Amino acid sequence: MLEDLITPERPLALVGCGRMGGAMLAGWRQAGLADRAVRVVTRPASPGAASAGGASSAGDALSAGGAGEALAGVPVLAGAAALAGQRPSLVVLAVKPQQLAGLGPDLAAALDARVPVISVLAGVPLAGLAAALGDRPLIRAMPNTPAAIGRGVTSMVANAAGAPWLDRARTLLGVLGSVVVLAAEEQMDAATALAGSGPAYVFHLVEALAAAGVAEGLPEATARALARATVAGAGALLDADDRDAAALRQAVTSPGGTTQAGLDVLMRPAGLTTLMAETVHAATARSRALGRETAPARPSAD
């Protein structure tokens, strides 16, 4: 139960509330998490800006990419240092990978070493998180944006100190959809490429379907509406029907019919399977590169 894990006295701290953090917060709130059991941590107030003082209320303190006014009422702290004294039960870190180095020292100093941090940063390994945040229970997680409606999927893996927290992380992240515990951290880059980025591939499929419909003579608005409803409906059917994707595809495909003619193109040797393999390969490689690019500098030999 979420209420056993997070209370107003031992709140959930969400550090970074942009597109992914905002989606997660929306999912938790939809599941009944009380606003007062959350602290959203935004960037530190810039010099000269009105002092944020203690916890204020959300609004345009949240990034333009976040859920903005929809989250009004959630206590907001400006800067990770403001978490000192807030006694979070756990922290979810959802800033950009490149922003970790800047906030790491403030966050580490503000938190008791026993407080676990769940990071959703693409590419940043557990070792990099430990270097930035100190030795503590750490969980590296990769959610996706359907979390906003409780329909996401999150992969996760923990360091040794974080392993006892995996069940509680499953409770927290399970509210946002399904959860997969990976057998090894090495799998996280591929999980990121497939499922973290995956919604974007599907949304692009909608764009491509609509454009193809326009090319075949449909008015743009009609093509967009048809493409959107088709992908949403196919996703809902996939969810509601136990058959696997291949069986559902075959159920659409009449021998000698229109679908077969289309699939003959899509499934040709250099078709979608090849393109998707290249797509996920590129995203996996980028996840690995992000890990290298954001690694703390090694001390020089001299």
Ligand X SMILES: NC(=O)C1=CN([C@@H]2O[C@H](COP(=O)(O)OP(=O)(O)OC[C@H]3O[C@@H](n4cnc5c(N)ncnc54)[C@H](O)[C@@H]3O)[C@@H](O)[C@H]2O)C=CC1
Ligand Y SMILES: O=C(O)[C@@H]1CCC=N1
List, as residue ranges, the binding site for NADP(+).
Answer: 94-97
Which parts of the chain are beta strand (E)? Answer: 12-15, 38-42, 56-57, 75-78, 90-93, 117-119, 138-142, 152-158, 177-181
For residue 112, give Cα distances in angstroms to 31, 99, 108, 120.
28, 21, 8, 20
Site for ligand Y contains 22 (CB under 6 A): no
As given in the structure block, the two tokens for residue 198 are 């995956």
Q: Which of residues 125-144 bind ligand X (CB under 6 A)?
A: 142-144
Q: Which of residues 176-205 bind ligand X (CB under 6 A)?
A: 196
Closest CA to 295 of 90, 121, 107: 121
Return the DSSP state at 153.
Answer: E
CA distance linking residue 238 with residue 233, whole number of Å: 8
State the binding partner of 67 from ligand X, ligand Y, none, CB within 5 to 8 A by kind: none
Binding residue (CB under 6 A) for ligand Y from 61, 122, 129, 156 = 122
Binding residue (CB under 6 A) for ligand X from 33, 115, 121, 210 = 121
CA distance linking residue 187 with residue 41, whole number of Å: 29
Site for ligand X contains 33 (CB under 6 A): no
Q: 133 vs 195, which CB is nearer to ligand Y?
A: 195
Closest CA to 32 of 61, 55, 4, 2: 2
Q: Smallest gap, in angstroms, from Cβ of residue 77 to ligand X?
A: 9
109-145: string of b/e by CB count within 10 Å (b at 16+)?
ebbeeebbbbbbbbbbbbebbbbbbbebbbbbbbbbb
Binding residue (CB under 6 A) for ligand X from 6, 15, 90, 227 = 15
At a CB cut-off of 8 Å and minimum separation 6, what does 240 contact?
A: none
Binding residue (CB under 6 A) for ligand X from 7, 10, 19, 150 = 19
Q: Smallest gap, in angstroms, from Cβ of residue 119 to ligand X?
A: 8
Q: 95 vs 122, which CB is nearer to ligand Y?
A: 122
Contact between 218 and 239 (Cβ < 8 Å): no
Contact characters 173-212, ligand Y, x per CB under 6 A: -------------------x---xx---------------
State the binding partner of 198 from ligand Y, ligand X, none, CB within 5 to 8 A by kind: none
Q: 155 vs 223, which CB is nearer to ligand X?
A: 155
Which residue is at the shortest CB distance from ligand X? Answer: 18
Q: 111 vs 223, which CB is nearer to ligand X?
A: 111
The residues that touch ligand Y, with contacts defined as CB under 6 A, are 122, 192, 196-197
The residues that touch ligand X, with contacts defined as CB under 6 A, are 15-21, 41-43, 63, 65-66, 80, 94-97, 99, 102-103, 120-122, 142-145, 196
